[in-house]
């Protein structure tokens, strides 16, 4: 229980006996309580103290009483409300069962008939409330209780009551009324006068998730979600689930129209369309353009020639920066096929400090690795190869632009070549990982070592200094993509934990090695305007004012651009900035939206399902070839799913907090083993593929130990693990579940070991 419970219990003792905490949301903490007077269980919701302080008891109780008169079979009634010892509370019936969120977390998608039925019932409740001039404002799966299979809408009018009681002071609470994934565009932009059509949009977003398994818009930040709500049309739900009837698909699309006037005017009209097989859209403008599936890496780079801080948002961002809006120029740079960008799991692009040149990783016919650096002047029509850079990765310019640094592998060399041509010098031999580098104002080069440490070396010296060491107890594995601040006091790094979804941006104090986390996201850069820019894992470029002396943010972040390509394996956002304010980025899919294919030995590829697209990660085929275990990235991270290839839907195996990935099948094909979990519960898990039993931790890893992947021996008695102990390279280990308590070494060399596979006769 929370610390305030004893005081709260004492304040309400004459009316309610608090039994236990049920959960907490953005506005309130929910308790199971006993109604002393009526001898019944109730759900007691207590507003957060900071919110209560802003609202004031008298105004809140006055506003909430307007919702107490709502009486409908699908509306959870309001029993009581009031104030006790500064606590503001309201009371509703305690309903045995689960929320729609619980059901979706378990099943991901609902049957079409069930989804339509639930939506129709909720729409009926909304129609009734709207007739009483009450708008819900927060329709979402968490507010739909399921009792005997029928929905009950909770918290009706609470958001309105809070907003009305607060008047213009909601900003003092730090709260945003409404949940971003289900907000209508007009609610997301802060319009005060919301009507029934806003709830219709939220209901449309909810049924979209019931049918497709995801909300129509998602992202890792509130800003990213709202940006997509305002600027993007979601793909038709039938594209993600072909079985959805055409009339249901059309009804959902109309409900999600960005323009309120083009939506259904009432919830009843929406419900009617869902049940009418003859319903079609009366116009085509609402039909989103069919996505081309995965964004093929085109031989082009988008370049924005303007101050980055005002790119794409114009006057709104200019006001935030207190500057005059500037004109934004945007061009696409065509790159000849012979010199196209080369796929590799790290940074591919860099821009010179003066913004006049770019260097990128392109093809090299003479190199077995088929990559080398190419240099291009922005006023030239073609690029030229940089001689001697075969095998290059992660290029970066020196502070004066006269030299280019690059890496050769993992671990590999750190090398330097003059920008205008000349001999290549090897600065570090076999001790540098290719996760980015930067010249500091002290003339030294900062880079990532093979153990994940942040290192530095003088280009003319031999001594390598350790600047900062990852804290394994916090799940930190590597400090990557170093960017040294111009005052030399700190270096911005990306902290890699287990996946791109939990990567964070931090600043390292160069004098002490102290590390301070700043934000969630991948590689970041500082601009002379006094801002830090970085990319989220879903490709949103954010900027926030940053004090380089205090090495801290001094204001909130804003969205600058979206659609930045992000390499999910390396956590590399494919963008670069110059000191003159130019931004260059590779456009692409941040979350790796792709399609799965069968590929014959002759190289012929056919889709597993032509209508199935997703942010797929690791894929494993069951021993009988009838099912797939795979990872999908969504709004709540990366998780393991199973798909029946003979017509079944998706079934989620991995539940709970953290990132789960690297699925592999047990030899008998009945279960799936995968790694993941929260920082405190990270391990190797196994669960039956039909999800009929809870997941079991197959291996609880020792403190500080990290597992990359695990595969079973053919007899199912032994796990072969690729993993790492603190301060070591990744090795191959074995563990016999039920017998061994810790993994033991099988192959441990001075090199990195990868991808263990056990032969069928082992």
Q: What are the catalytic residues? A: 138
Cβ-contact 137, 160 below 8 angstroms:
yes
Distance CA 263, CA 266 (A): 9
Cβ-contact 561, 541 below 8 angstroms:
yes
Query: Smallest Cα–Cα separation from 737: which of 752, 756, 716?
Result: 716
Distance CA 420, CA 129 (A): 71
Distance CA 77, CA 133 (A): 16
Which residues does 753 contact at the CB level (< 8 Å), separation at least 6? 722, 729, 730, 731, 732, 747
What letters, b where the CB count within 10 A reaches 16 and e where it falls short, cover 700-709? ebeeebbbbb
How far lies 740's CA from each of 56, 160, 471, 758, in Å?
60, 57, 27, 19
Cβ-contact 499, 638 below 8 angstroms:
yes
DSSP letter string over 703-747? TT-EEEEEEE-TTSS-EEEEEE-TTS--EEEEE-TTT-SS-EEEE
Which residues does 90 contact at the CB level (< 8 Å), separation at least 6? 45, 64, 78, 80, 81, 82, 158
CA 598 to chain centre: 28
Cβ-contact 202, 130 below 8 angstroms:
no
Residue 262 in 3-state DSSP? helix
* Token pair 């305690």 in the structure block, residue: 94
Residue 236 in 3-state DSSP? coil
Q: Which contiguous run of DSSP H or E holds residue 688?
A: strand 683-688
Bridge partners of 688, per DSSP, are 671
The CA-based angle 20-24-28, given to 5 degrees, is 105
What the block records as the tokens of 31 is: 């308790």
* Token pair 């280019």 in the structure block, residue: 404
Peptide bond just before 708 cis, omega within 30 deg: no
Which residues does 44 contact at the CB level (< 8 Å), separation at least 6? 12, 16, 18, 30, 31, 32, 33, 89, 91
The CA-based angle 365-366-371, given to 5 degrees, is 60
What the block records as the tokens of 427 is: 């600065």
Query: Smallest Cα–Cα separation from 73: which of 148, 135, 133?
Result: 148
Look up residue 594 and give its DSSP letter. Answer: B
Query: Smallest Cα–Cα separation from 677: which of 517, 451, 475?
Result: 475
Four-residue CA torsion sign, 247, 252, 258, 260: positive
Q: Beta-carbon neighbour count of residue 693 at 10 Å?
A: 10
Distance CA 419, CA 414 (A): 16
What the block records as the tokens of 596 is: 């799965």
Q: Which contiguous run of DSSP H or E holds residue 199?
A: helix 196-212
Cβ-contact 481, 572 below 8 angstroms:
yes
Q: Beta-carbon neighbour count of residue 575 at 10 Å?
A: 28
């Amino acid at each position: 229980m929370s610390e305030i419970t004893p005081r709260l219990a004492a304040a309400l003792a004459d009316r309610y006996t608090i039994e236990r905490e049920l959960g907490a949301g953005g506005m309130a903490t929910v308790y199971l309580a006993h109604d002393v007077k009526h001898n019944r269980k109730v759900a007691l919701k207590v507003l957060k103290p900071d919110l209560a302080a802003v609202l004031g008891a008298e105004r809140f109780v006055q506003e909430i009483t307007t919702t107490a008169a709502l009486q409908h079979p699908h509306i959870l009634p309001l029993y009581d409300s009031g104030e006790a010892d500064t606590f503001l509370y309201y009371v509703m019936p305690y309903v045995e069962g689960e929320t729609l969120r619980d059901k979706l977390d378990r099943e991901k998608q609902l049957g079409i008939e069930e989804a339509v039925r639930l939506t129709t019932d909720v729409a009926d409740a909304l129609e009734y409330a709207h007739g009483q001039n009450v708008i819900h404002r927060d329709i979402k799966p968490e507010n739909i209780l399921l009792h005997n299979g029928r929905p009950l809408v909770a918290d009706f009018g609470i958001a309105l009551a809070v907003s009305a009681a607060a008047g213009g002071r909601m900003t003092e609470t730090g709260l945003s009324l409404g949940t971003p994934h289900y907000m209508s565009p007009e609610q997301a932009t802060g319009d005060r006068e919301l009507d029934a059509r806003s709830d219709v949009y939220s209901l449309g977003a909810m049924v979209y998730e019931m049918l497709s398994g995801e909300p129509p818009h998602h992202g890792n930040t509130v800003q990213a979600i709202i940006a997509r709500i305002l600027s993007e049309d979601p793909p038709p739900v039938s594209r993600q689930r072909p079985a959805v009837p055409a009339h249901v698909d059309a009804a959902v699309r109309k409900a999600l129209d960005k323009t309120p006037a083009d939506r259904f005017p009432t919830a009843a009209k929406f419900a009617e369309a869902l049940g009418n097989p003859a319903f079609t859209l009366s116009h085509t403008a609402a039909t989103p353009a069919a996505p081309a599936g995965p964004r093929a890496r085109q031989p082009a780079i988008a370049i924005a020639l303007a101050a980055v801080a005002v790119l794409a948002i114009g006057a709104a961002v200019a006001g935030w920066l207190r500057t005059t809006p500037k004109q934004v120029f945007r061009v696409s740079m065509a790159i000849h096929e012979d010199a196209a960008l080369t796929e590799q799991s790290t940074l591919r692009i860099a821009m010179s400090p003066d913004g006049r040149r770019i260097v990128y990783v392109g093809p090299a016919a003479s190199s077995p690795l088929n990559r080398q650096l190419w240099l291009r002047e922005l006023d030239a029509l073609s690029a030229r190869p940089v001689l001697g850079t075969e095998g290059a990765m992660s290029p970066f310019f020196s502070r004066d632009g006269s030299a280019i640094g690059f890496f050769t592998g993992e671990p590999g060399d750190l090398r330097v070549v003059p920008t205008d041509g000349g001999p290549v010098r090897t600065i570090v031999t076999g001790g540098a990982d290719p996760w980015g580098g930067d010249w500091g104002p002290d003339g030294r080069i900062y880079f990532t070592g093979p153990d994940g440490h942040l290192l530095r070396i003088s280009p003319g010296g031999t001594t390598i200094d350790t600047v900062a060491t990852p804290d394994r107890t916090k799940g930190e594995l590597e400090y990557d993509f170093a960017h040294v601040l111009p005052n030399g006091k700190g270096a911005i790094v990306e902290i890699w934990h287990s996946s791109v979804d939990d990567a964070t941006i931090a600043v390292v104090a160069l004098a002490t090695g102290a590390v301070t986390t700043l934000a969630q996201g991948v590689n970041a850069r500082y601009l002379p305007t006094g801002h830090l820019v970085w990319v989220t894992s879903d490709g949103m470029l954010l900027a926030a004012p940053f004090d380089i002396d205090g090495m801290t943010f001094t204001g909130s972040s804003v969205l600058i651009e979206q659609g930045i390509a992000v390499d999910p394996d390396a956590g590399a956002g494919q963008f670069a900035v110059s000191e003159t304010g130019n931004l260059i980025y590779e456009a692409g899919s941040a979350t790796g939206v792709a399609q799965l294919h069968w590929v014959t030995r002759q190289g012929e590829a056919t889709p597993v399902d032509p209508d199935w697209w997703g942010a797929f990660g690791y894929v494993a085929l069951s021993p009988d070839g009838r099912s797939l275990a795979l990872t999908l990235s969504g709004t709540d991270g990366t998780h393991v799913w199973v798909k029946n290839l003979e017509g079944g839907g998706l079934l989620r195996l991995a539940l709970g907090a953290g990132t789960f990935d690297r699925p592999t099948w047990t030899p008998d094909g009945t279960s799936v083993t995968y790694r993941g979990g929260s920082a405190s519960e990270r391990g190797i898990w196994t669960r039956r593929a039909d999800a009929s039993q809870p997941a079991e931790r197959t291996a609880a890893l020792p403190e500080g130990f990290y597992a990359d992947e695990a595969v079973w021996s053919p007899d199912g008695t032994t796990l072969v693990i690729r993993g790492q102990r603190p301060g070591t390279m990744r090795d191959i280990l074995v563990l016999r579940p039920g017998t061994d308590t810790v993994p033991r070494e099988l192959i441990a060399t001075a090199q990195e070991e990868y991808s263990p596979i056990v032969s069928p006769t082992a």
